């Protein structure tokens, strides 16, 4: 049989590469380009790095950056840990696990805006959650309007919505670990705790790395719950960089500043994701060698 001379691999990759270029690379290049311009009195002017330089002395930007970092520092480990816990529970063979599995999967079927609206109603001052608190004899909490609680309420909603999705990936990873390894560990006399630490988690690392990187990317760019629930307030406590950029560009018509913020956000994300790859995959190689 004659071999095909057409380079099949590049052709097969072409649609994906085109999509990548069109929907990822082009917007980034455009954002970098636009961040070098400003509009004065209807005229678009090239200002070089001025938009970036002004951000350095801009309290609003620094505060927003801090909120973004703090938000991600909490939500990402929390989501990955809970997703892992759920996945470990999901694969257990215990009575009534079917009901739990069904419940775990509900949030995936609900779209984010719908979930946010439902949660907003539950978190109202006289909503369901405060009703429970009242029944327990506790005072009502202002979940979305107090600066101390608003960010954590957003974290809770995003976590509720997100963990089942990440759980599915981790279940996939767990099922990839061959039962023989566990069997061998059991014969060696390893307790279930030791098997989790010494067998399951190390073998799950590639999956966890993927989940962590994808989760961080999504949470750094999280926008909808903040837009729908708090508008960055109260006291800017939920004003993440994505929302600050949106407000700058679409509320105040200051596209130069908005694009500069977006570019910084993407750069920050690249650094953090790079760091995660380096730390997690680096250690894995070290352990293997």
Residues that bind another protein (CB under 8 A): 39-42, 50, 54, 58-60, 125-126, 134, 140, 142, 145-147, 232-236, 247, 250-254, 257
Question: Coil, strand, or helix at residue 93?
Answer: coil
Nearer Cβ to another protein, position 161 or 257?
257
Task: Tell the smallest beta-carbon distance from residue 210 to another protein (Å).
Answer: 38
Nearer Cβ to another protein, position 7 or 139?
139
Residue 94 DSSP class: -
Does residue 238 contact residue 67 with C-beta atoms inside 8 Å?
yes
Task: Tell the smallest beta-carbon distance from residue 52 to another protein (Å).
Answer: 13
Does residue 213 contact residue 41 with C-beta atoms inside 8 Å?
no
Q: Cβ neighbours of residue 83 under 8 Å, at least 6 residues apart? A: 162, 163, 164, 166, 167, 169, 170, 211
Nearer Cβ to another protein, position 57 or 289?
57
Closest CA to 83 of 165, 193, 15: 165
Nearer Cβ to another protein, position 173 or 234?
234
Task: Tell the smallest beta-carbon distance from residue 233 to another protein (Å).
Answer: 6
Does residue 231 contact residue 58 with C-beta atoms inside 8 Å?
no
Task: Tell the smallest beta-carbon distance from residue 224 to another protein (Å).
Answer: 16
Nearer Cβ to another protein, position 186 or 235?
235
Nearer Cβ to another protein, position 50 or 97?
50
φ, ψ of residue 139 to 5 degrees: the values are: -70, 155
Using alpha carbons, list the distances in angstroms from residue 68 to 76, 211, 221, 270: 12, 19, 9, 15
Does residue 210 contact residue 193 with C-beta atoms inside 8 Å?
no
Using alpha carbons, list the distances in angstroms from residue 225 to 107, 115, 206: 15, 9, 30
Strands 43-46, 37-40: pairing is: antiparallel
Nearer Cβ to another protein, position 164 or 237?
237
- Look-up: residue for tokens 């775990």? 104
| Gyration radius of the chain's alpha carbons | 23
Nearer Cβ to another protein, position 40 or 102?
40
Task: Tell the smallest beta-carbon distance from residue 23 to another protein (Å).
Answer: 22
Task: Tell the smallest beta-carbon distance from residue 42 to another protein (Å).
Answer: 4
Task: Tell the smallest beta-carbon distance from residue 130 to another protein (Å).
Answer: 10
Task: Tell the smallest beta-carbon distance from residue 120 to another protein (Å).
Answer: 12
- Alpha-carbon torsion angle 64, 65, 71, 75, nearest 10: 140
């Amino acid at each position: 049989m004659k071999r095909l001379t057409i380079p099949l691999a590049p052709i097969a990759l072409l649609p994906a590469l085109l999509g990548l270029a069109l929907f990822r690379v082009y917007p980034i290049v455009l954002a970098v380009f636009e961040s070098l311009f400003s509009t004065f009195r209807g005229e678009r002017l090239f200002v070089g790095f001025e938009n970036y330089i002004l951000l350095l002395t801009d309290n609003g930007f620094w505060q927003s950056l801090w909120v973004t970092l703090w938000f991600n520092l909490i939500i990402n480990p929390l989501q990955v840990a809970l997703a892992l816990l759920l996945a470990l529970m999901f694969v257990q063979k215990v009575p009534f696990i079917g009901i739990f599995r069904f419940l775990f999967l509900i949030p995936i079927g609900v779209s984010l805006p719908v979930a946010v609206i439902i949660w907003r109603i539950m978190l109202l001052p006289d909503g369901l959650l405060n009703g429970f608190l009242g029944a327990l004899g506790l005072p009502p909490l202002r979940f979305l309007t107090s600066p101390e609680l608003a960010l954590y309420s957003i974290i809770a909603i995003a976590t509720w919505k997100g963990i089942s999705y990440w759980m599915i990936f981790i279940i996939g990873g767990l099922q990839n670990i061959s039962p023989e390894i566990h069997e061998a560990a059991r014969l060696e006399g390893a307790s279930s705790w030791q098997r989790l630490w010494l067998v399951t988690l190390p073998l799950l690392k590639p999956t966890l790395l993927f989940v962590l990187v994808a989760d961080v990317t999504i949470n750094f760019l999280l926008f909808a719950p903040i837009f729908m629930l708090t508008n960055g307030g109260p006291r800017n406590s939920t004003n993440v960089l994505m929302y600050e950029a949106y407000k700058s560009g679409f509320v105040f018509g200051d596209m130069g500043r908005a694009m500069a913020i977006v570019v910084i956000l993407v750069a920050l994300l690249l650094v953090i994701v790079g760091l995660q790859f380096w730390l997690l995959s680096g250690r894995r190689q070290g352990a293997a060698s």
